[in-house]
Amino acid sequence: MNNKVSRIRKGVLTGMSLSLLIPILAACNSNSEKDDPNNRRVLRVGTMYGSKSDESWFRQQFTDMFEFSHSNIEIEVVPAIDYTEMQFEDQSKRENQPDQFTRVKEIMSGTNPVDVMIINDLNMLGQLVNESLLKQLDPLLKDDKIDINEFVPTIVEGIKDQGNGFLYALTPTFQPAALYYNKGLFTKAGVDFPKDDMNWDDVFNLAKRMKSGSGKDAIYGFSFNQWGASDSFWDLQNFAAPLQLKMYDDKGETMTVNSQQWQTLWETMVQLKNDRVTPRQEDMQYDQPESDTGIYNPYRSRLFYSGRVAMTIGDYGMMNEIQLMNDNSDKLKMEKLDWDVVTVPYHVGKEGIGGNIFLGQLAGINANAANPKDAWEFVKFMNGKEWAKLKSRSTYEMSARKEFVKVRDGMNFNIDAFTKMRPAPASYGGNTLKEQELLREKPNLSMITDMGSMIYSQVMQGNRTVKEGLALWEDQGNALLQKIKTTPKGQIPDAFDGINTGDSGGISPQKKALMEASGEVFVD
């Protein structure tokens, strides 16, 4: 669904929500302190990215309800990076992208610091905690008798992981993932359904039992994403995220990829593809049948939807697409999908931690806040029961409050699968605080990831063996790290000269995906 349609729907939902909250808000406004015209305050709310052009959307999502119920408080939205500032700059200026963490620190530590910080990156939360820029929330929760046990435990634990065991932010919602499976395919094959708490080996062994046929009749056991092909570096990174493997040492001077752990991961991905357990890019090609209706079928090439992949990793919103397809199956001339979900698999030794789980609405109080009292009122409101009840209607994210985690009307699925796993650190950039600090000092270290993507593409295409690929990444990566040492920022024209991609599409899609996921690219 494109973003404009999504925003229109969100706006409609916000309007409906406002009408439903009027009785509650009227009660809130009866407080004489809030009605006192001489007691007006400004609450500054920081965002990681933004602009005046989309501020109205942000306000609908986060602040309008609060301002309506707190008539004496005026919200001022302060983006750390206003991406419209770069829109009309020349290319030479665009080469030096603003450092996200530095800009966030500036609006939290300057002469007029923000009071609240909205964080859409779990890694960023850990960085801010490490810099002592956020106020610990545990004492405030205790003073106001707010029971943290009312929230989904794994989400609370995931947030605490970034706060050294303490809470420095709360989120009203999260975007979980699960392992979707086609019940009809399993029944037909006489194989038991997947179950919760499987590790990756369990899933791959199950997938091998489910593969069958060849050509256009082939059934694949598993796909790392709902779109089909599972041979991108992005899929590898999400798969490996809970392991937090390093590409280079703490100084950013020596590569560490030529190891048994990296080799095992790459060999696993290659073997799954070669054994046709997972589909390849060419397996997704499908000619649209000619039809008098002229209806284009977007699900034909998405193999899980068309019944050609038995299991796939998908987010909470994926069920919207399944429902849409099932509701229109007659028009599309497709068989309805009988499905369910179980928990995303875990790596042995990393039990309870899953990839593809995102927390995008973390709200914390600036340790330097000029208005900490109202800041806490805002964080409480944003994470309160009334707001959670409204946000629980979302079809693409789930409430962080257990009370509102419910199966949607008309559906029947294992909803607990979405709440059992703790989120892993993001798969892009640095996973540890040291790595993140190093990336800020040497932004060109991201080129090491780009190099890995290019070589991985060659390996998946069969142009190199896994050992050759990792040895090349180590060799060329070490050479690039020395160039980055002298040129930590800006262009390095010959960065990839030692690699013959043999494929014009070796890097761009993955790089774009990494940038979009980290907030560096915004698409209207």
One domain, residues 366 and 300 = no
CA angle 179, 185, 187 (to 5 degrees): 105
DSSP 115: S
State residue 285's pLDDT score: 67
Does one domain contain both 19 and 114? yes
- Amino acid 21: pLDDT: 46
Residue pair 366/116 in contact by the 8 Å Cβ criterion: yes
Residue range(s) defining the domain that contains residue 343? 177-231+278-351
Distance CA(414)–CA(170), nearest Å, equals 25
Q: Would strands 353-354 and 422-423 be described as parallel, antiparallel, or unpaired?
A: parallel
Query: Is 258 within the bounds of a domain?
Result: no
**CATH number of the domain where residue 138 is located:** 3.40.190.10
Return the pLDDT at 432: 62
Q: Are residues 221 and 316 in the same domain?
A: yes
> What are the beta bridge partners of residue 340?
181
Q: Give the chain's end-to-end CA distance (angstroms, integer).
A: 12
Write down the pLDDT at residue 92: 56
Residue type, 17: S
Amino acid of residue 247? M
Q: Are 343 and 417 in contact (CB under 8 A)?
A: yes
Q: How far is CA 61 from CA 17, 85, 268, 393, 395, in A?
A: 11, 23, 41, 13, 15
Strand, coil or helix: what is 33?
Answer: helix
- Do 182 and 165 lie in one domain? The reply is no
Distance separating alpha carbons of residues 159 and 123, to the nearest angstrom: 10
Do 373 and 484 reside in the same domain of the chain?
no
Strand partners, 180: 312, 341
20, 105: one domain: yes
Closest by CA to 259, choosing from 464, 53, 467, is: 467
* Residue 447 forms part of a structural domain: yes
**Residue carrying structure tokens 């899929």:** 235
Of 343, 316, 383, which is closest to residue 154 (Cα–Cα)? Answer: 343
Which 8-state DSSP code applies to residue 368?
Answer: T
Q: Give me the tens of pLDDT residue by residue for the chain, a chain 524 residues long.
A: 444 334 434 444 444 444 444 444 444 444 445 455 568 899 999 999 888 888 888 898 889 999 999 999 999 999 999 877 766 666 555 555 678 888 999 999 989 999 999 998 888 999 999 999 999 999 999 999 999 999 999 999 999 999 999 999 999 999 999 999 999 999 999 999 999 999 999 999 999 999 999 888 899 999 999 887 777 898 999 899 899 899 999 999 999 999 999 999 999 999 999 999 999 887 776 655 555 456 778 888 889 999 999 999 999 999 999 999 999 999 999 999 999 999 999 999 999 998 788 887 999 999 999 999 999 999 999 999 998 898 888 888 999 999 999 998 889 999 999 999 998 865 444 556 677 788 888 989 999 999 999 999 999 999 999 999 999 999 999 999 999 999 998 899 889 988 875 443 333 333 334 334 433 333 32
Residue 161 counted as domain residue: yes
Q: Is 411 found in the same domain as 318?
A: no
The whole-number pLDDT of residue 248 equals 95
Say if 317 falls within a structural domain: yes
Given 351, 369, 396, the domain boundary residue is: 351
User: Domain total for the chain?
Assistant: 3
d(CA 194, CA 192) in angstroms, rounded, equals: 7
Q: Residue 5 has what pLDDT?
A: 38
Q: Which long-range contacts (CB under 8 A, 24 or more apart) does 126-129 make?
A: 126/161, 126/162, 126/163, 126/425, 126/433, 126/436, 127/101, 127/433, 127/436, 127/437, 128/104, 128/168, 128/364, 129/162, 129/163, 129/164, 129/168
Amino acid at 13: L
pTM of the model: 0.84
Tell me what pLDDT residue 28 has: 46
Helical pair 200-210 and 260-274, crossing angle rounded to 10 deg: 20
3-state secondary structure of 167: coil
pLDDT reported for residue 294 = 65
